[in-house]
Structure 1
Amino acid sequence: MNSTHPLARQVRGPVLAPADDGYAAETAAFQAGLEQRPDLVVGALDADDVRAAVRHAAARGMPVRVQATGHGVPAASEGGLLINTRRMDGVRVDPAARTVRVQAGARWEQVIAAAAPHGLAPLNGSAPHSGVVGYTLGGGLGLLARQFGYAADHVRALDLVTADGEPRHVTAREEPELFWALRGGRSGFGAVTGLEVGLVPVPRLYGGTLAFDGALLADVLRAYRDWTAGGLPDELTSSVMAIVYPDIPALPEPLRGRHVVQVRVAYTGDAAEGERLVEPLRTVGPRITEKLGDMPYTESPTIHADPTDPHPYTGTNMLLSDLDLAAVTEFAEQGGPGAEFFSVVQLQQLGGALARPPRDGNAVGHRDARYSLSVLSVAAQPEEAAARAFHGRLEEPLKPWAVGRFLNFLFGAVDPGRLREAYEPETWRRLEELREAYDPSGLFRTEAATGS
């Protein structure tokens, strides 16, 4: 039942306290291992609900967190007020302007479907069921990243409610400082209720995966280093994933229970040229599976085939200035068979458009990084500290090449020092000054302020 809390008379959506029916479902997140226990949760239906919730919290000194799908909830939390925006899922494409306008709870899969009839695509990531807003505010490193850059680079406008309870329309001309900060700065400025972002003219691509046995891990990584150092076109974005697949019927038989190394490719040029570009990787050795070909952009989520069911996980990443083969191979091997936690290791080439900031700039950091190396481990809340310590040991040999971190790939309990590593010192200083200016009481100073 809906709470009898006084705030329920000011909003259209549900207002729930811990004892109310539906509270657990309203606070649940895709990142299932981290429990949210707010004193109050508001299931917002529109921007007015968000505004009422923020004003209520501000009047009582309650910290505010915002959640849509909960893919990026950084830490378990107690107390305060949680605004769940998942019901605010409107999507409107303007094909002439090549933009899409989304509400705070919209998912990328909705945008992909709405843009496709117009021959357009968004700059989404590998998981189309994740939220548009949280992903984009954190930077957004997607399937077409080397050709078009970060999703944050393409934001045209944002609507949010700041700590004073007032709605703001933010563009490069209106509120330029806030516009700079929100695109890559992620949290601590307010509750975003809407976002306008550019689309790109990509109706199809050549892509898919080549999967090798884990015994070839070092060979695949060597080939990937040489391949990506050889002047690949910006139209090709790729990554390597290493995983020990569980032995379950839901997986294709060739992958079950095996240590597998997959190269994932997305290329917007023609299929014949894509075949030519990928050919050097085939010389590594026999493939367990190979699924490469021309596809409509609507099928691009099959390239990564990210899991769609909520599960507990924590993870981190490093941005690297160069690819030291021995150190990266050791990192991947330690996350493979016999690892302390079931883990997924991913290495991704950066560069191209990612290295070129938009004309008006934004807060996305470390554009000079050449690679991103990530590890994600399945770990529920009691195991999270041990998983983080495991990740720290994996990272140690790579520190000489580390230039920072990427915000979207920091999961779990993230200490302030690690968050700072996502930015250059001057960018961090500027972000902190703007947070103080727009939220002097620290209403939104929680790590989960803009979870996806």
Structure 2
Amino acid sequence: MTPPTAIPVGAPPGQDAVGELAAHVTGAVLTPGDEGFAAEAAGFNLRSRHRPALIVAAESAADVQAAVRFAAAHGMPLGVLATGHQPFPARDGFLLLTTRAMRGVRIDAGRRVARVAAGAVWSDVVGPAQAAGLAPLNGSSPRVGVVGFTLGGGHSPFLGRSVGWAADHVVSIEAVTADGTLHQVTAESDPELFWGLRGGRSNFGVVTALEIELFPLTSFYGGGIYHPAERTEEVLRAFTEVVPGAPDDFTCSVALLNMPPLPEIPEPFRGRALVHLRVAGLGTDEETERLIAPFRAIGPGLVDTVARHPYEAFAAVHADPDQPAPYEERSTLLAELPAEAVERLLECARRGAGGPVTVLELRHFGGALNRTPAHAAPVAAREAAFSLWGATVGPPEAVAAGYDSLSEVMERLSPWSTGRTYTNFTAREDRAEDVFTPAELDRLRALKRLHDPANLFRVNNHTIAPR
């Protein structure tokens, strides 16, 4: 991978300036060498080695305002970090604003809306929402940050196909722009900025809180079925049989797994190549069982957790890792999955079993994810029928080998690609051109020129430069 180009920055601020900043914020202000600096700079992806000149651990919107004004005054690019799941480009000399201390969540059951602060993760939202009989458009992991997930489009493997992208269901946004002003942004107050924030992430400002829609749902019928890798062809054939006629309230995906031989991984998974079917139905148990009959016909799995579950048990379906790890990822969006594409995927699976790729996942989109509502967010992934994503986890040599293998898989499936990647599944080197359509990007660049002409917010992934 080619390292990103260095960003020109101003002279580092002196101790007096840093001390003045610290006097105006509630959260910690840290410089290299301070106790806690390395821990605050670390994200979930341990391959992202952040090298900021200064960290502000914000505890409020006022802290965010102070940090933004300081960065602008001292010519320091500004980056934002909540959980740090996605790869973060290597940068030097910037101001890192962390929001993980901002975890407040407030549920308005009457409006079916949650107000979520910048550092909240999905486990902070699901529990309080369920107490009101409601569910958010969350992803598969309880540890992912709500704001980053939602402003990257936000694919829910539970409600997505029935109601659409999470970004389309944002009610309002509280954000600090490059001049340090705190805005309350809605489709009525500033329709263009509201549009751009719901897809452009940190390119136009630092989002300090979101109001998001909630939906009446307290349980689902689903879970995971694990088979040995020898059944991959049967599983993929069944998958292509199930998805064409699937109703919008049913979602399924397939993951090819190479489990490491680590003692903390339970039998019968340890050190094995597996294929993992994941299903979630919002209809009755009987309706979902009829839909997954082709999956049942494969035979019993090594483990089968498909049953009626309370919605709070959503994390068990995909069983995403919950501990930080070093990894790289690659992805593409597929417009279709014809028989030839399935054959190529099977060839890649046969070669990859027991190899360095940790997970290769095929998600079915469709339904409401392919529809464009009024006030739609810039989510180019709504053009796709499937998402193909993979990750490789481990020490540098294993990650490098796995990344090369993933790149080959994406290349072999490129004839059916839309030519873009889903924002939340971008690789470290992906650019804005890889995420947005040309029309979206042109409009986003015009918006950047209006709200951040000096390109202060240029540290995070797929930076949008002013037009």
TM-score interval, smaller chain: over 0.9
Select the residue among 320, 327, 340 that pairs with 2:344. 327
Select the residue among 269, 280, 284 that pairs with 2:294. 280
Distance in 2 (CA, whole Å) between partners of 1:202 and 1:438 is 38
Match of 1:398 in 2: 413
- Length, aligned pairs only: 443
Secondary structure in 1 matching 2:314: helix
Distance in 1 (CA, whole Å) between partners of 2:19 and 2:375 is 44
| CA-CA distance at 1:247 after TM superposition | 2.7
| CA-CA distance at 1:77 after TM superposition | 2.4
Is the Cα contact below 8 Å between 2:126 and 2:135 reproduced in 1? yes
Alignment of 1:20-59 (within 5 A): 20-59=34-73
Percent identical pairs in the alignment equals 43
Say which is worse superposed, 285-294 or 441-450, in terms of deviation: 441-450
| CA-CA distance at 1:69 after TM superposition | 1.0
Alignment of 1:63-78 (within 5 A): 63-78=77-92
Is the Cα contact below 8 Å between 1:334 and 1:394 reproduced in 2? no
Is the Cα contact below 8 Å between 2:43 and 2:324 reproduced in 1? yes
| CA-CA distance at 1:379 after TM superposition | 4.8
Secondary structure in 2 matching 1:102: strand
Match of 2:19 in 1: 5
- Paired residue type of 2:82: A
Is the Cα contact below 8 Å between 2:168 and 2:375 reproduced in 1? no
Is the Cα contact below 8 Å between 1:318 and 1:372 reproduced in 2? yes
Alignment of 1:9-408 (within 5 A): 9-143=23-157, 144-229=159-244, 231-323=245-337, 324-337=341-354, 339=355, 341-379=356-394, 387-403=402-418, 404-408=420-424
Match of 2:460 in 1: 447
Match of 1:438 in 2: 451
| CA-CA distance at 1:286 after TM superposition | 3.8
Distance in 1 (CA, whole Å) between partners of 2:454 and 2:127 is 41
Report the TM-score, using the length of structure 1 for normalisation. 0.94
Secondary structure in 2 matching 1:421: helix
The answer for unaligned runs of 5 or more in structure 2 is 1-14
Is the Cα contact below 8 Å between 2:80 and 2:460 reproduced in 1? no
Distance in 1 (CA, whole Å) between partners of 2:135 and 2:461 is 28
Is the Cα contact below 8 Å between 1:335 and 1:345 reproduced in 2? no
Secondary structure in 1 matching 2:180: coil
- Paired residue type of 1:237: T
| CA-CA distance at 1:140 after TM superposition | 0.6
Query: Could you list the per-position Cα deviations for residues 288-335 of structure 1 after superposition, in whole angstroms to 9, with x for gaps in the alignment?
Result: 111110011001111111111100111021111111211222333344
Say which is worse superposed, 11-20 or 352-361, in terms of deviation: 352-361
Match of 1:429 in 2: 442
| CA-CA distance at 1:357 after TM superposition | 2.0
Distance in 1 (CA, whole Å) between partners of 2:351 and 2:78 is 38
Distance in 2 (CA, whole Å) between partners of 1:82 and 1:51 is 13
Distance in 2 (CA, whole Å) between partners of 1:13 and 1:443 is 22
Distance in 1 (CA, whole Å) between partners of 2:28 and 2:185 is 28
Distance in 2 (CA, whole Å) between partners of 1:429 and 1:329 is 38
Distance in 1 (CA, whole Å) between partners of 2:214 and 2:267 is 37
Distance in 2 (CA, whole Å) between partners of 1:342 and 1:366 is 24
- Paired residue type of 1:119: G
1:382–1:49: structure 2 CA closer, same or farther, 3 Å change rule? Answer: farther
- Paired residue type of 1:434: L
Distance in 2 (CA, whole Å) between partners of 1:245 and 1:275 is 28
Report the TM-score, using the length of structure 2 for normalisation. 0.91
Match of 2:10 in 1: none
- Paired residue type of 1:51: Q
Is the Cα contact below 8 Å between 1:121 and 1:202 reproduced in 2? yes
1:425–1:204: structure 2 CA closer, same or farther, 3 Å change rule? Answer: same
Distance in 2 (CA, whole Å) between partners of 1:288 and 1:382 is 31
Is the Cα contact below 8 Å between 2:31 and 2:55 reproduced in 1? yes
| CA-CA distance at 1:378 after TM superposition | 1.2
Distance in 2 (CA, whole Å) between partners of 1:248 and 1:152 is 38
Distance in 1 (CA, whole Å) between partners of 2:353 and 2:201 is 32
Query: Could you list the per-position Cα deviations for residues 64-93 of structure 1 after superposition, in whole angstroms to 9, with x for gaps in the alignment?
Result: 001111112432322110011011110000
Select the residue among 401, 410, 415 that pairs with 2:426. 410
| CA-CA distance at 1:214 after TM superposition | 0.1
Is the Cα contact below 8 Å between 1:207 and 1:264 reproduced in 2? yes
- Paired residue type of 2:209: G
Query: Could you list the per-position Cα deviations for residues 391-438 of structure 1 after superposition, in whole angstroms to 9, with x for gaps in the alignment?
Result: 222212111100021010114x2242xx31222210111112211221
Distance in 2 (CA, whole Å) between partners of 1:119 and 1:429 is 41
The answer for unaligned runs of 5 or more in structure 1 is none
Distance in 1 (CA, whole Å) between partners of 2:21 and 2:395 is 33
Distance in 2 (CA, whole Å) between partners of 1:47 and 1:335 is 47
- Paired residue type of 1:320: L
Is the Cα contact below 8 Å between 1:104 and 1:193 reproduced in 2? yes
Q: Which has the higher contact order (CA 8 A, sep 6+)?
A: 1
Q: Aligned Cα RMSD in Å?
A: 1.9
- Paired residue type of 2:358: S
Distance in 1 (CA, whole Å) between partners of 2:346 and 2:225 is 18
| CA-CA distance at 1:282 after TM superposition | 1.5
Say which is worse superposed, 44-53 or 255-264, in terms of deviation: 255-264
Query: Could you list the per-position Cα deviations for residues 350-371 of structure 1 after superposition, in whole angstroms to 9, with x for gaps in the alignment?
Result: 1001011221121011423111
